[in-house]
Chain A
Amino acid sequence: MLLEKDENKIPRFSFRPFKIIENIQIASNTFLLVVESANSLDHFSAKPFNFFNIWVPRVDEIPLSIAYQNGKRLFFLYKLRGLGTKTLAQQKVGSFIGIKGPLGRGFEPKRSEKWLIVAGGIGIAPIPMLIKRALELDAKLDIFWGVRVSTEFFDIAKIFGLPNEAWSIVRVSEDCMADFCGLVIDAIRSVNVDKYDGIIAIGPQEMLKTFCKQYGESRENTYVSLETIVKCGMGICGSCYIRESEKLLCVDGPVFRCSEVAKQLEGASA
């Protein structure tokens, strides 16, 4: 279900200082960033699918999904893409970065629901947080995670200390070195989606487009988490507007029903 927007908006739109606790490569081209609030009084609780804008001073402000939260520690998973993420990867343990958030609306299953999760590539990033929440809600998650080459995989259970109950994961890779060979979207074809309370896909836009075409037209409870160019993250600059919709990704998303983003996804090259 979509969660309410946060009441207290102003403080989270400023950059709060966080100290880097860990910033290490965990898989091909993929990094884990762990930061801790420099302010002992800072209190906030992120929800699954919230994101934070990470300020790399004088270089960029990068929107990253929250991967996990443990008290004052925030965990992020990111791939190297441009100058911003490359510079972020060079930031040393002990140095400071600024963090704006939590941004966007959260998304989580209702109590005792069963959800199918389809993640492509770094689309796995918000899933550890979702698993943590599913455990609290007594919900069940069946996860399909697809990557191009199997060196992109990493062990989310081990990294985040997730217990094995409440979720399962099927690994899919195009290099055929995993549980299933091919695209994640093909891997779920054999799954009976009717046994789930809802399905959500997170990943590259082409994948989401195919996903919505296959499952979104007949099912109301079909969601996608979009990854678009968020700039200010505050609903002001307008960069992340959803085509033919009043909605903005940064304040109303990143999770939308397929039916809400049909026009947006049409623009994707499939």
Chain B
Amino acid sequence: MALNRLALMTSLAGIELRHPLMNASGFLGYTREHVHRLASYGLSAIVTKTITPYAKEGYEPPIIVALRNGGLLNAVGLENPGKKCIAELVEEARKINVPLIISVGGRNEEEFVEVAIEAEENSATAIELNLSCPHTKGYGLEIGSDPNNVFSVVKAVASVTRIPVIAKLGLSDRVVESAGKALEAGAKGLTLINTVKAMAIDVHTLKPILTNIFGGLSGPPIHPIAVRVVYEVFKEYRSEIIGCGGVSSWIDAAEFIAAGAKAVQVGTALALANNPQDLVSNILQGLQHWLELHGYKVVEEAVGSAHRV
């Protein structure tokens, strides 16, 4: 069955999207070739790997391992070639006509601003601030778990860029408060959530599996946590949200939309899919049926539907 393109259209932070599905940051996304591969999956936008001002080496392998519960555990260590790669990524995305969101990382406000400016100067579509990587010292959640830090980083970036700023927040006790601070500081949207800090021990060798010992858990095991966070944040602020965490079928995507998300990111499922193109089109078809089932003409009408009384 052909997709009803009109019904699936959505927008997020002012970015027009032909459907709600984009990739989650961290899956490929730091070379021209990666952008091309991701685009071939049929996503409505591409989110790059987190880019830091200068090239950053990752951890020694093992950096990613699949778990028996269907999740993935990773500690790649924010490996990336540095901000100089942004021009090439933007150029490639423009060639294939797909919006490109630059995931930005840094150890302090200045570093976030430095990469964000590079993204803006190269006319990237938007910026997603990674305030939530759970496994790299000095980055991510070490900054983003404090709502005041979230405020100052978002404020610093939003005040020097015109392209939309999206804040990606991770699981923390004060995530709802952090979401509010990000919006107050000028974020046009929120990506909720990042991977959740976790670890795995091999019981035969009695050793932690990841070289970094701790990593970020992704995939189906974190989906209900992410739905909870999206639901709570939407309830509090009615903000523009990208749901992220454990989407592997249309039901998971629909759940995020019902909780309050206008767009959805897929990471683990896309990485493990034998045929990523099929996965994307199956999720979209399922979403379309779901919209029809409820008599919604566009995604927008379904956003936050679980909050209605």
A residues adjacent to B (C-beta < 8 A): 5-7, 9-11, 13-15, 17, 38, 53, 55, 57-58, 60-61, 95-98, 100, 231-232, 234-239, 241-248
Contact = CB atoms under 8 A, between A and B. Distances in A.
A245 B40 CA distance: 12
B209 A15 contact: yes
Interface of B: 26-31, 33-34, 36-37, 40, 49, 58, 60-68, 70, 72, 74, 76, 79, 202, 204-205, 207-209, 211, 271-274
A98 B272 contact: no
A252 to B, nearest CB: 10
A38 B272 CA distance: 25
A243 B205 CA distance: 37
B33 A58 contact: no
A61 B62 contact: yes
B63 A243 contact: no
Contacts of A236: 26-28, 64, 72, 74, 271
B136 to A, nearest CB: 14
A100 B65 contact: yes
Point out which of A95, A236, A245 has the most chain B C-beta atoms below 10 A from its C-beta: A236
9 A-B pairs with least C-beta separation: A13-B66, A61-B61, A17-B204, A57-B207, A232-B64, A96-B204, A14-B66, A246-B37, A238-B28
A92 to B, nearest CB: 13
B70 A10 contact: yes
Contacts of B202: 15, 17, 55, 57, 98
Nearest to A11: B66
Point out which of A10, A58, A237 has the most chain B C-beta atoms below 10 A from its C-beta: A237
Contact of B274 (A7, A57, A60, A238): A7
A242 B33 contact: yes
12 contacts: A6-B274, A14-B65, A14-B66, A57-B205, A61-B61, A231-B58, A231-B61, A234-B66, A234-B271, A246-B36, A246-B40, A247-B37
B209 A237 contact: no
Contacts of B74: 232, 236
Given A232-B63, A248-B37, A237 B205 contact: no
Nearest to B35: A246
A57 B76 CA distance: 17
Given A246-B36, A248-B37, A231 B63 contact: yes
Contacts of A98: 202, 204-205, 209
A189 B237 CA distance: 72
Given A7-B274, A57-B202, A241 B64 contact: no
A10 B272 contact: yes
Contacts of B58: 231, 237
Contacts of B31: 238, 241
Given A100-B65, A235-B271, A241 B34 contact: yes
Nearest to A232: B64
Nearest to A16: B204
A86 B33 CA distance: 34
A244 B70 contact: no
Contact of A238 (B34, B204, B209, B272): B34
B63 A97 contact: no
B214 to A, nearest CB: 14
A244 B63 contact: no
Contacts of B204: 17, 38, 96, 98
A60 B60 contact: yes
Contacts of A246: 33, 36-37, 40
A9 B272 contact: yes
A246 B277 CA distance: 14
B77 to A, nearest CB: 10
A111 B66 CA distance: 35
